[in-house]
Amino acid sequence: MSKPLTNQEFSALRDYIYKKAGIFFTEKNRFILEMRIEEILNETGYKSVTEYMRALEDYKTSFTEWNRLMNKVTITETSFFRDKYQITAIEKNVLPEIIKRREQNGSRQLRIWSAASSSGEEAYTMAILLAEQLKEAVGRWNIAIYATDINENALAAVRAGVYSSYSLRNTAEDIKRKYFNKLPDDRYEIKDHLKKMVLSEKCNLMDYNASRRYSKIDLILIRNVLIYFDQVSKAKVLQMCYENLNEKAFLFLGHSETIFGIANNFKLVSFVNAFAYMK
């Protein structure tokens, strides 16, 4: 059982995280922050939240502690082929469409951005879908799938590309055989030719200049992330995404997220049990 934060500690920490990362812990999610901060205090030996906050501000320790804090509070569980309706929409409609468009203008280049990639399941799912769709032509395409996250542990997992069978619970057997090497400990390692498509980099979505590096994108996935952001930060991130997308390119959010009234420049595209937003 974690020690509850005092109201003052909670709001100080909440506001600090919000200011730097745009992630807002509501009262409802207070327990998550309490749980994580207790882990941090145990790990580091800081005696109180106040002391830890001082370490966050101190230039000698702030870099390490800020990364530690982000690595703790942004852990999200994900899996390959998560949300079958969105995956079907991407597979049957979005990828054929962006491939066709790129072929028409003769560029043979695809840029996909998994903008809060966590451990990379989403980015590699896109790599698998492209490999399936382009078949032997895949080698003739210049494919960049950016997997970015604020959490360094997650990025290390993307680079390792090793997953538990639980992560692959929605993955068909033939896909497993085709694109993974089964390790002796029952885990699965993504094959090298897919690893090469995925580029993992650290990026704080609230950092506009850093995020704008991912420009001319054909498909952005930022699923189940904006739920942790307040309206103002959401609007900022969505505007950045809008600028990063090619004309008529697509953005996917989590299946029950809507951006109505926050970013009205996108067009809502309805697929079977799934939505996308188009520039």
Partner 1 sequence: MIDSIRQKVEGIRDFLPPIPLVMNELVQLLNQDDVDFKALADVISKDPSMTMNVLRIANSAFYGLPNRVNSLDHAVAMLGIKELTSLCMSCGAASALAPSKKGQKTMDLRSFWRHSVATGVIARMFAVEFGLPTSNLYLGGLMHDVGMVVLDRFFHPLYTKIVEVTFKENMPVIDAETRVLGETHAKIGGWLMEKWKLPPLFCEIASFHHSIEESSGEHRMIVSVVSLANQVSRLTGFGFGGDETGMVISESSAFQFIAKAHPNLENMDVAKFVMDLDRADGEISELERMMTNE
Binding site residues, partner 1, CB under 8 A: 88-89, 92-93, 96, 256, 258, 260-261, 267-273, 275-276, 278
**Rounded (10°) angle between helices 30-44 and 49-57:** 80
SS3 of 4, please? coil
CB of 271 to partner 1, least distance (A): 4
CA distance 182 to 119: 18
Task: Calculate Rg over the CA atoms of the chain.
Answer: 20
Query: Is 86 or 114 the residue whose CB approaches partner 1 more closely?
Result: 86
Nearer to partner 1, 124 or 275 (CB): 275
Q: At its nearest, how many Å lie between partner 1 and the CB of residue 122?
A: 20
Q: Least distance in Å: CB of 264 to partner 1?
A: 10
Q: Which of 42/270 has CB closer to partner 1?
A: 270
DSSP of 48-93: SHHHHHHHHHSTTTHHHHHHHHHHHHT-----TT-SHHHHHHIIII
Give yes or no for a contact between 36 and 73, defined as CB atoms under 8 angstroms apart. yes
| CB 232, min distance to partner 1, A | 19
The two structure tokens encoding residue 213: 């590096």
The four Cα atoms 186, 166, 118, 80 give a dihedral, to 10 degrees, of 100
Nearer to partner 1 by Cβ, of 155 and 253: the residue is: 253
Closest approach, Cβ 275 to partner 1, in A, equals 5
**CB-nearer residue toward partner 1: 33 or 94:** 94
Q: Environment class of residue 153 by beta-carbon count within 10 Å: exposed (0-12), middle (13-18) or buried (19+)?
A: middle
Shortest CA distance to 191 belongs to which of 107, 131, 137? 131
CB 266 to partner 1: min, Å: 10
Using the structure block, give the residue that is written with the tokens 């590699």.
124
- 70 vs 95, which CB is nearer to partner 1? 95
Residue number with CB closer to partner 1 (216 or 267): 267
How far apart are alpha carbons 192 and 174 in whole angstroms? 17
- Least separation in angstroms between residue 95's CB and partner 1 is 11
- Amino acid identity of residue 106, one-letter, is G
